[in-house]
Chain A
Amino acid sequence: MSGSYFQRDRDWHPPGYTPTYKTSVLRSPRHALLSLPTTTSEETGPVFGHDVLGPLDNDLIRNWSQNGGEAIGQRIVVYGRVLDEEARPVRGALVEFWQANAGGRYRHRKESYLAALDPNFGGCGRAITDEDGRYSFRTIKPGAYPWPNRVNDWRPAHIHFSIFGHAFAQRLITQMYFEGDPMIWQCPIVRTIPDRAGIEQLVAALDRNATLPMDSLAYKFDIVLRGRRSTMFENRMEGN
Chain B
Amino acid sequence: MVQPLRYLKESPSQTAGPYVHIGTNPNWVEITGVWKSDLGLVLVGPDTRGERVILEGCITDGSGAPVRDALVEIWQADAAGLHNSPQERRGRADPAFAGWARQPVDDRDGSFRFETIRPGPVPYPDGRMQAPHVSVWIVARGINIGLHTRLYFGDEAEANATDPLLNRIPEPERRATLVAPRSERDGLPVFRFDVRLQGENETVFLDI
Interface residues, chain A, with chain B CB atoms under 8 Å away: 3-5, 8-10, 12-16, 18, 21-31, 33-48, 52, 54, 56-57, 63-64, 83-87, 96-98, 106-111, 122-126, 160, 162, 166-169, 171-175, 189-190, 192-193, 197-199, 201-202, 223-227, 236-240
In the assembled complex, the Cα of A26 lies from the Cα of B7 at a distance in Å of: 35
Contact yes or no, A39 B137, CB < 8 A: no
Which residues on A sit within 8 Å (CB–CB) of B73? 171
In the assembled complex, the Cα of A167 lies from the Cα of B86 at a distance in Å of: 10
Which residues on A sit within 8 Å (CB–CB) of B127? 237-240
Which residues on A sit within 8 Å (CB–CB) of B76? 41
In the assembled complex, the Cα of A123 lies from the Cα of B29 at a distance in Å of: 11
Closest to B101 in A: A46
Contact indicator per residue, chain B 135-153, by CB within 8 Å of chain A (1) or not (0):
1010111111111101000
From residue A230, how far is it (CB to closest CB) to chain B in Å? 13
Contact indicator per residue, chain B 16-46, by CB within 8 Å of chain A (1) or not (0):
1111111110100111011110010000000
A-B residue pairs, 6 tightest by C-beta: A98-B23, A23-B142, A237-B127, A44-B85, A46-B100, A27-B142
Chosen A-B contacts, 10 in total, with CB atoms closer than 8 Å, are A29-B203, A33-B205, A39-B122, A45-B85, A96-B24, A98-B23, A106-B19, A108-B18, A172-B146, A173-B16
| Stretch of B47-55, B154-162, B181-189, B194-202 with 4 or more beta carbons under 8 angstroms from chain A | B194-202
Which residues on B sit within 8 Å (CB–CB) of A46? 75, 84-85, 98-100
How many inter-chain contacts with C-beta < 8 Å in the A-B complex?
281
Closest to B75 in A: A168
B107 touches A (CB below 8 Å): yes
In the assembled complex, the Cα of A166 lies from the Cα of B83 at a distance in Å of: 12
- Among the interface residues B13, B146, B198, which one has the most CB atoms of the partner chain A within 10 A? B13
Contact yes or no, B11 A40, CB < 8 A: no
From residue A44, how far is it (CB to closest CB) to chain B in Å? 4
Which residues on A sit within 8 Å (CB–CB) of B7? 85-86, 227
Interface size on B, residues (CB 8 A): 86
Contact yes or no, A239 B123, CB < 8 A: yes
Contact yes or no, B142 A41, CB < 8 A: no
In the assembled complex, the Cα of A41 lies from the Cα of B119 at a distance in Å of: 11
Contact yes or no, B199 A30, CB < 8 A: yes
Contact yes or no, A106 B22, CB < 8 A: yes
Contact yes or no, B144 A87, CB < 8 A: no
B95 touches A (CB below 8 Å): no
In the assembled complex, the Cα of A193 lies from the Cα of B207 at a distance in Å of: 18
Contact indicator per residue, chain B 89-109, by CB within 8 Å of chain A (1) or not (0):
110000000111000000100
From residue B72, how far is it (CB to closest CB) to chain A in Å? 12
Contact yes or no, A86 B144, CB < 8 A: no
Which residues on A sit within 8 Å (CB–CB) of B18? 108, 110-111
Closest to A5 in B: B208
Which residues on B sit within 8 Å (CB–CB) of A21? 15, 142, 144
In the assembled complex, the Cα of A223 lies from the Cα of B9 at a distance in Å of: 10
In the assembled complex, the Cα of A28 lies from the Cα of B13 at a distance in Å of: 14
- Beyond contacts A40-B123, A45-B87: 13 other A-B pairs, Cβ-Cβ < 8 A, are A12-B9, A25-B142, A26-B63, A40-B88, A47-B86, A107-B29, A108-B29, A160-B19, A160-B23, A168-B135, A174-B11, A175-B17, A239-B123
Which residues on B sit within 8 Å (CB–CB) of A38? 208
From residue B39, how far is it (CB to closest CB) to chain A in Å? 7
Which residues on A sit within 8 Å (CB–CB) of B8? 83-87, 224
Asked if A87 meets B6 with Cβ closer than 8 Å, knowing A45-B87, A122-B34, the reply is yes
B173 touches A (CB below 8 Å): no
Which residues on B sit within 8 Å (CB–CB) of A14? 12-14, 144-145
Which residues on B sit within 8 Å (CB–CB) of A30? 62, 198-199, 202
Which residues on B sit within 8 Å (CB–CB) of A96? 23-24
In the assembled complex, the Cα of A108 lies from the Cα of B6 at a distance in Å of: 42
Contact yes or no, A124 B123, CB < 8 A: no
Contact yes or no, A41 B83, CB < 8 A: yes
